[in-house]
């Protein structure tokens, strides 16, 4: 387990942009073979309702750039010395999308730019990278996170597709006295097959076979689409997340009662309800409706939850826990102080 403490670093802005199209579970039910009774059951148990996805040819980078420009409208772009892009849906296999984004945003050629390939815990790992760069001497870092999950979720896959939404967030991190943060992070590659896109990498190169949709017990998908073993992911989450909070509290020398809000990766409402029950945390402190309205936004789900449900509540000094868990398998959490952070309401993609 990695444990890290940072001092005098602040999150100054958080902005999230969703896909431009809203779809409902009722509209998609025929793709998954759901009847009316099944739709009602899944809405109640899992939180299925609606999700926001992008129109054709809109990329995660486009969503993040729209979020970043809203930050620049308020703060400008001076002194930004790094751009980190956390995503599983880059513009290209190569080169790094972050480098292209830095140019599109007009950040100049002195900016450090790189991608991180990570999903569910990506916001925590991206934030750790940003804090580390500030700790090493940089003034400001722009962290961009998100996914166009509709790109890797086959439209007939009843196991994954009803969950997934598209979103891109931008977060401004800078040097600021009096703001501290503590992180704990883990990974376990033994479970990598439980959440995976099997084809398209060097291990299993893309082929004609990769485009053939195949039916299984839990859905229909192609080799280039994401596969999720839902039972294993649920068991993993319930096992590691409560323990991770104990580790974080012990390291940061705080208690659960010191925390104003717990903002977790919005996998689905059923998982979040189980975590909240085990931790004895109320829904007032642990929002869990992001997937129900916007879909599972992958690495953008934590900032997406903040912009979606806490933008009007994080006024004044607040101590907030962020926690992500999933693909890899990987999991991590941090506790940060938020005060006067620019947090506008979540916005829908408008385009340039």
Instruction: Give the active site residues.
Output: 120, 265, 296
Strands 80-86 and 112-116: parallel
Alpha helix (H) residue ranges in the chain = 25-32, 36-45, 60-75, 97-104, 122-135, 230-252, 269-279, 290-293, 301-305
Measured in degrees and rounded to the nearest 5, phi and psi for residue 240 equal: -95, -30
| Phi, psi values for residue 46, rounded to 5° | -100, -15
Residue 255 DSSP class = -
Tokens representing 168 are: 């891109």
d(CA 76, CA 80): 9
β partners of residue 181: 6, 336
CA-CA-CA-CA dihedral for 242, 247, 249, 251, to nearest 10: -170
Pairing between strand 9-18 and 347-348?
Answer: parallel
Q: Is 187 exposed, middle or buried (0-12, 13-18, 19+ CB in 10 A)?
A: middle
* SS3 category, 325: strand
Dist CA 189 CA 328 (whole Å): 6
Tell me the Cα Rg of the chain: 19
Residue 306 DSSP code: I
């Amino acid at each position: 387990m990695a444990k890290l403490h940072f001092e005098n670093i602040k999150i100054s802005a958080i902005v999230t942009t969703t896909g431009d199209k809203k779809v409902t579970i009722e509209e998609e039910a025929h793709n998954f073979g759901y009847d009316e009774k099944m739709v009602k059951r899944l809405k109640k148990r899992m939180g299925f309702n609606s999700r926001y996805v992008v129109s054709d040819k809109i990329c995660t980078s486009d969503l993040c750039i729209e979020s970043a420009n809203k930050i620049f409208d308020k703060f400008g772009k001076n002194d930004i010395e790094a751009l980190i892009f956390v995503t599983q849906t880059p513009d290209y296999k190569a080169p790094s999308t972050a480098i292209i984004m830095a140019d599109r945003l007009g950040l100049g050629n002195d900016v450090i730019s790189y991608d991180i390939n990570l999903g569910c815990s990506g916001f925590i790992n991206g934030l750790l990278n940003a804090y580390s760069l500030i700790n090493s001497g940089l003034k400001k870092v722009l962290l961009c996170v998100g996914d166009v999950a509709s790109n890797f979720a086959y439209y007939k896959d009843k196991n994954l597709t009803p969950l997934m939404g598209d979103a891109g967030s931008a977060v401004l991190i800078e040097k600021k006295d009096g703001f501290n943060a503590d992180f704990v992070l883990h990974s376990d590659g033994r479970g990598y097959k439980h959440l995976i896109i099997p084809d398209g990498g060097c291990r299993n190169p893309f082929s004609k076979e990769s485009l053939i949709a195949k039916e299984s017990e839990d859905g229909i998908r192609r080799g280039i689409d994401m596969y999720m073993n839902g039972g294993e992911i649920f068991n993993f989450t319930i096992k590691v997340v409560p323990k991770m909070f104990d580790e974080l509290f012990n390291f940061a020398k705080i208690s659960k009662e010191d925390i104003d809000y717990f903002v977790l990766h919005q996998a689905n409402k059923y998982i979040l309800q189980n975590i909240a029950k085990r931790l004895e945390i109320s829904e007032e402190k642990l929002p869990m409706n992001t997937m129900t309205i916007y879909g599972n936004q992958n690495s953008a789900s934590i900032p997406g939850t903040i912009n979606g449900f806490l933008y009007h509540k994080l006024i004044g000094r607040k101590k907030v826990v962020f926690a992500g868990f999933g693909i890899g398998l990987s999991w991590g959490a941090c506790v940060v102080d938020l005060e006067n952070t620019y947090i506008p309401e979540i916005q829908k993609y408008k385009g340039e």
